[in-house]
């Protein structure tokens, strides 16, 4: 049977795609988590739609859907980083970065830090990508999360630049997508960032520096 994007997406959402293969019934913990995040995204979008008439535009709906879809990219990326603290897939790609980076200093850093302390860095990377998933889905601290994505992906772009199985433009595309989220303040489109900016918590608004940081992050 030929694959197609519609059945593949459905299988992915219910935990039946190949991504979940090694995890048995434990997969459903992850499935329930991700479906809850998606439900949260729809609820936040609904709250924006109901309480802020300016959100009821094609542009805001389109940006929300793009955020939600890209969040799925990050969620799917977390799966091959399981089990923790060290997975075979993460070990392979760490080694690939040390091998294919065009810069000797970068290879030295990867070997000395990321490879040597992989049992520390793999859980950190997993948690970071979970944060990207939640932040982009809910539109929460979206500009801050997207900036982290750009830096995170730049590391992969450099590390895998000479890998013959990789296409460097893939990483440039990911970086520019999230850069557009920053420039266009994507969390203010049917996201928590919009709700929080309209009703900023008092502890933030009373502190000028915190308020400025919050404004930049959202």
Written as one string, the DSSP assignment of 66-132 is HHHHHHHHHHHHHHTTPSSS--HHHHHHHHHHHHH-S-HHHHHHIIIIIITTHHHHHHHHHHHHHHH
Residue 214 CB contacts under 8 Å (≥ 6 apart), including other chains = 196, 200, 204
| Structure confidence at residue 83 (pLDDT) | 85
Q: How many CB atoms lie within 10 A of CB 91?
A: 13
Q: What is the spatial distance between Cα 156 and Cα 189, in angstroms, rounded to a whole number?
A: 29
DSSP summary character for residue 57: S
Domain residue ranges of the chain, discontinuous segments joined by +: 5-217
Nearest to 86 by CA among 53, 48, 115, 107: 115
| Structure confidence at residue 171 (pLDDT) | 97
| Structure confidence at residue 27 (pLDDT) | 86
| Structure confidence at residue 206 (pLDDT) | 86
| Structure confidence at residue 1 (pLDDT) | 62
Low-confidence ranges of the chain (pLDDT < 50): none
Stated pTM of the model: 0.93
Residue with tokens 């935990």: 15
Of the chain, the end-to-end C-alpha distance in Å amounts to 44
> Mapping DSSP to helix (H, G, I), strand (E, B) and coil, where does residue 3 land?
coil
**DSSP per-residue string spanning 143-159:** HHHHHHHHHHHHHHHHH
């Amino acid at each position: 049977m030929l694959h197609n994007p519609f059945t593949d997406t459905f299988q992915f959402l219910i935990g039946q795609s190949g991504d979940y293969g090694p995890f048995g019934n434990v997969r459903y913990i992850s499935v329930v988590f991700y479906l809850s995040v998606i439900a949260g995204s729809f609820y936040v979008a609904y709250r924006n739609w109901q309480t802020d008439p300016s959100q009821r535009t094609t542009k805001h709906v389109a940006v929300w859907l793009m955020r939600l879809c890209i969040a799925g990219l990050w969620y799917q990326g977390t799966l091959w980083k399981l089990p923790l603290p060290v997975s075979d897939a993460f070990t392979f790609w760490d080694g690939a970065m040390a091998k294919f980076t065009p810069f000797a200093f970068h290879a030295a850093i990867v070997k000395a830090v990321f490879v040597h302390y992989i049992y520390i860095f793999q859980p950190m990377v997993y948690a970071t990508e979970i944060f990207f998933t939640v932040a982009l889905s809910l539109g929460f601290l979206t500009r801050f999360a997207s900036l982290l994505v750009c830096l995170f992906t730049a590391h992969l772009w450099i590390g895998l630049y000479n890998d013959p199985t990789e296409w460097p433009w893939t990483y440039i595309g990911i970086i520019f997508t999230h850069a557009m989220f920053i420039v266009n303040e994507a969390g203010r489109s049917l996201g928590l960032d919009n709700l929080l900016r309209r009703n900023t918590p008092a502890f933030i608004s009373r502190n000028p520096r915190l308020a400025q940081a919050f404004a930049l992050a959202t």
